[in-house]
Amino acid sequence: MSTPPQPPQQPDQPSEAPASPSAYPYPHPQSPGPAPVPPAAPGQQNFYGQPTLVGQPGQPGIPGQPGPPQSVNPYAQPGPYPAIAPPPGGGSGGRAGRAVLWAAVGAVVASAAWAGGVFLLGSAGKDADLRGYTAPSNFCNSADYSSFKTEYPDNDGSPTHTTLKADALDEGYCSLSLKKTTSSYADAYLSVQVDLHKKTDPGPEFTATWENYGDSHTGYDVDTVPGIGDEAYLVSEDTTSGSTSGSLYATIAVRDGWVTYTMSYSAYLSSYDDDKDPPTLDEVTDWLKTDSKSTLEGLKD
C-alpha cells in the first residue's frame, strides 16, 4: 500500500518530536498505531479535503482494515438537526414529520389538480366552431358578386385565386377586376377571403382589429353591420367628394363562430379614366352586404 503524503511540518517544530494530534486522518508511517484524533474546530476539514474511511466507531479507519466504509468526515461536527427526519410517530418530532409529509402530499395533489384542470379546459377548447363552413379550392367560382355586375358587366378573364389546407387553418381567396363595357381597363377591384380557424378562436383578435380600425388607420369610418354572422363591421373611405377623382374603398368583415370573412372593394379615379360615373359609397356598401350574405350561405355544407 502506498503511503499517503504527509502534511507540512509546523514552523519551529522538530520532526523527531513525539507525534501529536494532527488534522491528517492517517497515522505517520513511523507511528506504532493510529494516533488519537481530537475533534476538529467548527468549519475545519480534512487537510486534503477528502472523505475519510471509518473502521470502528470513533476511530479513523486504515485502508484495508475490515469495517464498512462510509463516505463521512470524522471531524465534522453534528448539526442541530438529524440528516434524515424520523418516521411519523409520537412526540413533537413525529408531528413535525407528519406536517412535512402532508405538506408535500398537498403540493403534489394541488399540482395534479391544476394540471388536470388545464388538460380538461384545453381539450374542451379543441373543438373548432366552424358552423358547417368550407373553404373552396377556387373561391372565384364560389363567391357571389352578382350585385356588382349591373355596374360592371364585363367578366375578369383571369382572376387570381389561392387556397390553403392545413391542420390549423383552411383558407380561400379570390381577387378580380371590375370593368364597365365602355372601359378599356379595370375600373375597380374586388377581393374576397374566407378563413376557417381550426385550432384557435379568432374572436378577440378579430374584434380588436376591425372595431378599432379607424384608430390605427386615419381617415376610415367604421360601422357595425347587424344581421350577418356573430359580428360584422363595415370599414370605408371616400375621397371623391362626389367628383370623378379620388379613391373609394369599402370592406365588410364578418366573423361567424371560428370563421372569418372579408369582401373588399376599391376604386382609384382620375380625370383620365374612362369611368366618368363611378358608383357612390352607399351603393357599394349595399352590394357588399348583399353579396356577402349570399356567399356565406353558399360556403356552408
Q: Which residues contact 234 (CB under 8 A, 6 or more apart)?
A: 222, 223, 224, 225, 250, 251, 252, 285, 288, 289
**Nearest in space to 26 (alpha carbons), one of 66, 53, 49:** 53
Tell me if 225 is assigned to some domain: yes
All 3 cell numbers of residue 124?
374542451
What mean pLDDT, rounded, does the chain reach? 74
pLDDT tier, 286 (very low <50, low <70, confident <90, very high otherwise):
very high
- One-letter amino acid of 82: P
Tell me if 119 is assigned to some domain: no
pLDDT tier, 271 (very low <50, low <70, confident <90, very high otherwise):
confident
Tell me if 75 is assigned to some domain: no
Tell me if 103 is assigned to some domain: no
Mean pLDDT of 56-85: 48
| Phi, psi of 116, deg, nearest 5 | -65, -40
Q: What is the pTM of this model?
A: 0.59
Q: How many domains does the structure of the chain reveal?
A: 1
Give residue 151's domain range: 139-298
Return the pLDDT at 244. 72
Beta bridge mates, 266: 189, 249
Tell me if 79 is assigned to some domain: no
Tell me if 90 is assigned to some domain: no
Asked if residues 192 and 295 have their Cβ atoms less than 8 Å apart, the reply is yes
* pLDDT tens-digit readout, 181-192: 888 889 999 999
The Cα 46–Cα 52 span in angstroms is 8
* pLDDT tens-digit readout, 115-158: 444 344 443 456 899 999 999 999 999 999 999 999 999 989 89
Return the pLDDT at 292. 98
Tell me if 48 is assigned to some domain: no
pLDDT for residue 205 is more than 80 = yes
**Following CA atoms 258, 126, 172, 293 in sequence, which dihedral angle do they give, to the nearest 10 degrees?**
-30
Q: Which residues contact 108 (CB under 8 A, 6 or more apart)?
A: none
Query: By CB neighbour count within 10 A (0-12 exposed, 13-18 middle, 19+ buried), where does 220 fall?
Result: middle
pLDDT tier, 27 (very low <50, low <70, confident <90, very high otherwise):
very low
Tell the residue number behind the cell numbers 374584434, with chain if given: 207
Residue 191: which CATH number?
A: 3.40.1000
DSSP assigned state of 205: H
Tell me if 152 is assigned to some domain: yes
Return the pLDDT at 68. 52
